[in-house]
Amino acid sequence: MNNDLKSIAKDIRCDVLQCIGHLGVGHIGGCLSVVELLTVLYFEVMHIDPKNPKMAGRDRFVCSKGHAGPAVYATLANRGYFDKKELLTLNQGGTNLPSHCDMNRTVGIDMTTGSLGQGFSCAIGAALGAKLEGDGARIYTLIGDGESQEGQIWEAAMFAAAKKLDNLIAFTDYNKLQIDGTVEEVNGIAPLADKWRAFGWNVLEVPDGNDIEQVRSAVWRARNDLTRDGKPAMVILHTKKGCGVKWIEDLGAGNHNTNLTAEQAEVAIRELRGEA
Ligand SMILES: Cc1ncc(C[n+]2csc(CCOP(=O)(O)OP(=O)(O)O)c2C)c(N)n1
Ligand SMILES: [Mg+2]
């Protein structure tokens, strides 16, 4: 596998901007904050085959924060699941790429998500299923920090530990922002790591969840060391919502679901590629 993860992440980030810019609006902030994680999972860690997307025993990724669909689609396209041209159909009539992940429409998507809190439970069900099957699959899942205010998350967290799901590796996109403000002012979730530990999980914090090397070593550590003692693992990624494009980052919570013109996307892409 090509180890140039940084340049792959840049391609994915540019594709997210391009497809949302083409549509004119989208969940830009929460897509850009998870690009490094998706890159590491799909290009280095997960046991998957884009040519055989339903392969038995494959690892699964459940994007419980389903509004990050465009980031997942850009990752799948770059990984070869479908043609990159398809990205420009994002959320348009008849598309295979709706704004939120849909397992019945998109090749490579294994769980439908978008109603916050629910995808995480589905991931836990998949982990339990894989255990019962004994097929060796690992289940990776991503939740938002605002999503972590959902009661369902904590019920599911308790269940996963009780069932000793050590084939489950979860991530929190701790970007400190949600739809209408900071997580802290809406309904603070700190101390987050202590909460997960108290629920029986092994926990790892990544100071910069947009640093590919930090993410890479954390994912491997979670996979190899933190899921060996009957416990699931939670990796808390301290990220920046809108990461990679300064003016989008500066919108703060305003970058959650925002307008982006094709021209603005083009300028941002040129900047990212160092062509500005
Ligand atoms: C059950 C439910 N309630 C509300 C929404 C609308 N909604 C979509 S994204 C979002 C904010 C999520 O914040 P966070 O989890 O922090 O996501 P991120 O910052 O990564 O975008 C909300 C309230 C939803 N999709 N599902
Ligand atoms: Mg958030």
Structure tokens at 145: 């920090």
Distance of CA 225 to the CA centre of its chain: 21
* Ligand 1 atom nearest to 150, measured from its CA: 1
pTM of the model: 0.98
**What are residue 153's phi and psi, to 5 degrees?**
-60, -40
181 lines ligand 1 (CB under 6 A): no
Confirm if 120 and 152 have CB atoms less than 8 A apart: yes
pLDDT at 1: 42
Cα–ligand 1 centroid distance for 26 (angstroms): 13
* Distance from C-alpha of 174 to C-alpha of 200, rounded to nearest angstrom: 20
Q: CB of 144 closer than 6 A to ligand 1? A: yes
Q: Is 178 in the pocket of ligand 1 (CB under 6 A)?
A: yes
If we measure between CA atoms, which residue out of 68, 7, 62 comes closest to residue 39? Answer: 7
What is the architecture of the domain spanning 5-272? 3-Layer(aba) Sandwich (3.40)
Per the structure block, which two tokens stand in for 49?
């085959």
CA of 213 to the centre of ligand 1 (A): 28
- Is the CB of 70 inside a 6 Å radius of any atom of ligand 1? no
* Domain range summary for the chain, segments of one domain joined by +: 5-272
- Nearest residue (CA) to ligand 1, atom 4: 116
What's the confidence (pLDDT) of residue 155? Answer: 98
Q: How far is the CA of 24 from the centre of ligand 1 (A)?
A: 20
Ligand 1 lined by 116 (C-beta under 6 Å): yes
* Residue 29 · residue 272 · CB < 8 Å: no
Which-ligand-closest: CA of 149?
1
Low-confidence stretches of the chain (pLDDT beneath 50):
1-2
What does the pLDDT look like over 31-51, one tens digit per residue? Answer: 999 999 999 999 999 999 999
E-state strands within the chain: 25-26, 60-63, 139-144, 168-174, 177-178, 181-182, 202-206, 233-238, 258-259
Question: Quick check: 90 and 59 in contact, CB under 8 A?
Answer: no
Atom of ligand 1 at shortest range from CA of 144 = 15
Binding site membership of 236 for ligand 1 (Cβ less than 6 Å): no
Does the CB atom of residue 30 touch ligand 1 within 6 A?
A: yes
Reference 252, options 88, 33, 8; nearest CA is 33
Is the N-terminal amide bond of 191 cis, ω within 30° of 0? Answer: yes
pLDDT score, position 3: 59
